Amino acid sequence: GGSKEITGSQTDTLSFGQLGISVTLNSNFTATAAAGVDSGTDAATLTIAEETGQAAQLTFKIGSGNNAAQDDLTFDLTVTKSTTLGSGTGSNLSDVANFATAADASAAITVVSDAIDQLQTARSAVGVGQNRLDFAAQNLASSIENNESARSTLLDLDVAAEMTQFTSKQILVQSGVAMLAQANQMPQNLLRLLQG
């Protein structure tokens, strides 16, 4: 329970147990702000309503633009603990402690069964969010690779064009030197003819 503000270079890790998911938070996550983006600092924020069982909304920036529908990835997490899981009729797992009568045991079975269903639904939502994040990461990696390939192609074209132009100029210079050499020999040949 409660909140912990992360400052400076501190980090904290949220671990989702057997799902194998862990999220490392840094000082961009504030202690009390609602989910979304804090307009003053552009810091991503996270709020988990532990006591009420409400869904916590996670928002990740996955694009370079400002269009939330295309550039943000948002999904909800449901708080799952003994005080929030149960039948929804006022009983929850933390209330299931007394099995003195058959009616108590039957009521406990209903609460536990509903709690299992709610937990599985919450786990599936985490799985969906994880799959969406994996897909977004792969998509971004592919986009980066394509951009680098296009950049490399453009740079290679520039090098090829410059080499072609350099070779053309070099041939012109060599031709000019050869012509000058021929032109310097002409007066000497004329003098030889006159002397001979």
Q: Are residues 125 and 40 in the same domain?
A: no
Q: Are residues 54 and 86 in the same domain?
A: no
Residues 6 or more apart in contact with residue 125 via CB below 8 angstroms: 75, 76, 77, 78
Looking from the CA of 67 toward its CB, the CA atoms found within 13 Å total 3
The one-letter amino acid at 165: Q
Q: Are residues 16 and 27 in the same domain?
A: yes
Q: Are residues 17 and 109 in the same domain?
A: no
Q: What is the mean pLDDT of residues 99-112?
A: 82
190 occurs within a structural domain: no
CA distance 96 to 110: 10
Q: Are residues 46 and 60 in the same domain?
A: yes
Q: Are residues 75 and 88 in the same domain?
A: no
Q: What is the mean pLDDT of residues 120-146?
A: 88
Six token digits for residue 112: 């536990």
The percent of residues in the chain predicted with pLDDT above 70, rounded, is: 77
Q: Which helix (H) or strand (E) holds 140?
A: helix 102-195
As a whole number, the mean pLDDT across the chain is 75
User: Residue 9: pLDDT above 70?
Assistant: yes
Six token digits for residue 69: 């529908």
Q: Which domain range does residue 152 map to?
A: 81-185
How would DSSP label each residue in 78-91?
E--STTT-B-SSS-
Q: Are residues 53 and 119 in the same domain?
A: no
As a whole number of angstroms, the longest Cα–Cα distance in the chain is: 141
User: Residue 46: pLDDT above 60?
Assistant: no
- Residue with the two structure tokens 């202690």: 31
Q: Are residues 88 and 180 in the same domain?
A: yes
195 occurs within a structural domain: no
Q: What is the mean pLDDT of residues 68-80?
A: 79
**Total domains, the chain:** 2
